[in-house]
Amino acid sequence: MSLLVIAEHDNASLKTATLNAVTAATKIGGDVHILVAGSGCGAVAEQAAQVAGVAKVRVADAAHYADQTAENLAALIVANASGYSHIIAPATSNGKNTLPRVAALLDVAQISEIISVVDADTFVRPIYAGNALATVKSSDATKVITVRTTGFDAAANSGGTAAVEALAAAADLGQSKLLGRELTKSARPELGAAKIIVSGGRGMGSGENYHKVLEPLADKLGAAMGASRAAVDAGFVPNDYQVGQTGKIVAPQLYIAIGISGAIQHLAGMKDSKVIVAINKDADAPIFQVADYGLVADLFTAVPELVAAL
Amino acid sequence: MKILVPVKRVIDYNVKVRVKADGTGVDLANVKMSMNPFDEIAVEEAMRLKEAGKATEVIAVSCGVTACQETLRTAMAIGADRSILVETDVELQPLAVAKLLAAVARKEAPQMIILGKQAIDDDANQTGQMLAALLGWSQATFASKVVIGEGKATVTREVDGGLETIEISLPAIVTTDLRLNEPRYATLPNIMKAKKKPLEVVKPADLGVDVAPRLATVSVTEPPKRSAGIKVADIAALVDKLKNEAKVIA
Ligand SMILES: Cc1cc2nc3c(=O)[nH]c(=O)nc-3n(C[C@H](O)[C@H](O)[C@H](O)COP(=O)(O)OP(=O)(O)OC[C@H]3O[C@@H](n4cnc5c(N)ncnc54)[C@H](O)[C@@H]3O)c2cc1C
Ligand SMILES: Nc1ncnc2c1ncn2[C@@H]1O[C@H](COP(=O)(O)O)[C@@H](O)[C@H]1O
């Protein structure tokens, strides 16, 4: 049995989310192959070959894979799908964009955001914003799966000695093209990979306050910064800060929720964090029901005090 | 151009979901049902394109039980011109819905289909992408801005690192993210008007689609509960706990 993991990368480096997907593949069992589709992505293929537990890396290097458009990527994956029992990608925005397309072209179901593997056909996935866990069994010949990265440890990114093999590119479908990207630049850790996250909600009041109050705390802790939907909608921070059912799913060692009420849609994205701290002036805020340590206080005095105490 | 908007009837997003004791699913008896929030955004976007003179007709489509007619009436109260119910009692999974929608699309020949990015019940985030694949169309998922041009559209997408803007050829699939627009409320006169708008009912068999589920649900369970924590008196106590009890900071 062989499994194909779709690499998440930016043509220069392999993203950690791929390593979580490799672990899920390893749990299912069989020969794990990684597909790297990109442009000038040789370095990514080399990194993929060093991932522990990977048997083979297959690389399709062509200009029309540079931007990971779903139409071209899905066609490539489908053209190379035969012989694989499972096709797996991390549940990143790329993975979510492409894998359902692959599944439909193969006429199979897609299983979204699994958090654990029961056996080669059976998987556990959250539904209803994580308020229920469904165990589902697939009867399809090929299982097409996205993996919630917080459900699986990252595979080691060294120690592997996989063979690297070139794949022929499929035709350029020319259906969509990238015009530009506006990516958030930050020296801080990525939300998905951070050990500590400082997250702010509507209670921050403004984007200026968000930065003025929370950045010193994030600096002290070496933390990534997150936000509730309300904070993003109000324009305090860009969309990629959003944690929740429809934002990023995170599970750091420490999640500090500041001025966040704790709506179920927000909890869905962070309630698997190891330790949760909530600072909120409303003692009845639902966030306190999931917080290990709650402090009822005005954030504008409490957070600077916390920074000073660290 | 015609725009098709698939709308799903789901448990209202404010309802606290309860897992059934027998582990077969969640309790939907006497629970408030509403249109999937992302689909309201999809209907709103279609209406704005119509009001801007870019679209000529907006057709809402729902697949599922008879009660989905309510969801379609809501879509027509927001402004959709007419609607189609693909009626079945069978549990529909995203691939089956995509096949039904593809069959409707082949009949109606829209230039754009706007779906929600995700249904808040199954949290699948699949149907739009699958539909694009079945029709061989381009796709722009997680849209926060849509601009229609000549035979093409420019769409800004919410992605992991921020935003990206792509150009897609029409016909195309768009799936909505939360910040695409703020849906209007249906006014009472429009709710009354919606009652008279056409609602066609078809069956999966009429469309020649096999909707049998591919995934069997073995069980549905409650997630592990977090044990309630404690309230600390002040920052000093909080720092002490984090250092000495939780040991998450040095
Ligand atoms: C389909 C759908 C998807 C959604 N997806 C997400 C998602 O992915 N992520 C997400 O976060 N939300 C999501 N939401 C929105 C969610 O329902 C809530 O509206 C949102 O999480 C609320 O954000 P908030 O807690 O920042 O704001 P509020 O609920 O307004 O809470 C603000 C909190 O700040 C506190 N506060 C105010 N001032 C101070 C102060 N000076 N000091 C201390 N505390 C203070 C208040 O007591 C209050 O508890 C979604 C909603 C829908 C319908
Ligand atoms: N039964 C259905 N009827 C109509 N539209 C649906 C149905 N199921 C899903 N959709 C559409 O597909 C989107 C994504 O759903 P999902 O892939 O299930 O997360 C929804 O927001 C709807 O626009």
What are φ and ψ of residue A205, in 5° steps?
85, -40
- Pocket of ligand 1, candidates A96, A191, A265, A295: which has the most ligand atoms within 8 Å of its Cβ, to mutate? A265
Which candidate in A293, A298, A306 is best for mutational testing of the B interface (most B CBs within 10 A)? A293
Identify the residue whose tokens are 């693909």: B86
Which pLDDT score is estimated for A268?
A: 94
Residues with a CB atom less than 6 Å from ligand 1: A 201-203, 228-231, 242-247, 259-261, 263, 265-266, 269, 280-282, 285, 298-300; B 13, 37, 120
Residue of A nearest to B217 (CA): A136
Instruction: For residues B41-58, give the mean pLDDT.
Output: 98
Q: Which of B98, B124, B162 sits opposite A240 (nearest CB)?
A: B162
pLDDT of residue B226: 84
The rounded distance, in Å, linking the Cα atoms of A279 and A264 is: 17
0.90 exceeded by the pTM? yes
Centre of ligand 2 to C-alpha B7, Å, is 6
Stretch A27-42: mean pLDDT: 98
The answer to whether the Cα torsion of B23, B29, B35, B37 is positive or negative is negative
And the tokens for A117? 């593997």
pLDDT of res. A208: 98
pLDDT for B227 equals 79
Nearest chain B residue (CA) to A132: B222
The DSSP call for residue B170 is S
- B48 to A247, B4, B43, B45, B131: CA distances (angstroms): 25, 14, 9, 5, 23
Complex ipTM value: 0.95
For A263-291, letters b (16+ CB in 10 Å) and e give bbbbbbbbbbbebbbbbbeeeebbbbbbb
pLDDT over 90 at A193, yes or no = no
For residue A85, pLDDT beyond 80: yes
Q: How far apart are CA B101 and CA B63, in angstroms?
A: 8
**Cβ pair A103:B154 closer than 8 A:** no
The pLDDT of residue A17 is above 80: yes
Report residue B250's pLDDT band, with 50, 70 and 90 as the boundaries: confident
Minimal Cα distance from B127: which residue of A?
A100
A88 confidence band (pLDDT: 50, 70, 90): very high
Q: What confidence score (pLDDT) does residue B97 get?
A: 98
Beta strands per DSSP E along chain B = 2-6, 9-11, 33-35, 57-64, 82-87, 112-116, 138-148, 152-159, 162-169, 172-176, 199-202, 215-221, 230-231
Residue-level pLDDT at B9: 98
Structure-block tokens of residue A229: 């939907």
To 5 degrees, how large is the angle CA A6–CA A120–CA B21?
A: 115
pLDDT level of residue B245 (50, 70, 90 thresholds): very high
Q: Tell me, what DSSP letter sits at residue B243?
A: I
Would you say residue A212 has pLDDT above 90? Answer: yes
Instruction: Provide the terminal-to-terminal Cα distance of chain A, rounded to the nearest Å.
Output: 52
Name beta bridge partners: A178.
Answer: B166
The whole-number average pLDDT for the span A210-217 is: 98
Cβ-proximal residues to A211 (8 Å cutoff; 6+ apart), any chain: none
Residue B228 has pLDDT above 80, yes or no: no
Provide the pLDDT confidence category of residue A242 given band limits of 50, 70 and 90. very high
Average pLDDT over residues A120-138: 97
Contacts of B249 in chain A (CB under 8 A): 196, 221, 254, 310
pLDDT in tens, A151-191: 999 999 999 999 999 999 999 999 999 999 998 888 898 89
Give yes or no for a cis peptide into A189 (omega within 30° of 0).
no
Decide if pLDDT at A257 tops 90. yes
In the predicted structure, residue A289 carries a pLDDT above the cut 90: yes
User: What pLDDT, on the 0 to 100 scale, is given for residue B80?
Assistant: 98
DSSP-based three-state secondary structure for A5: strand
Residue A192 reports pLDDT greater than 90: no
Q: Degrees (nearest 5) of the Cα angle A293, A299, A301?
A: 110
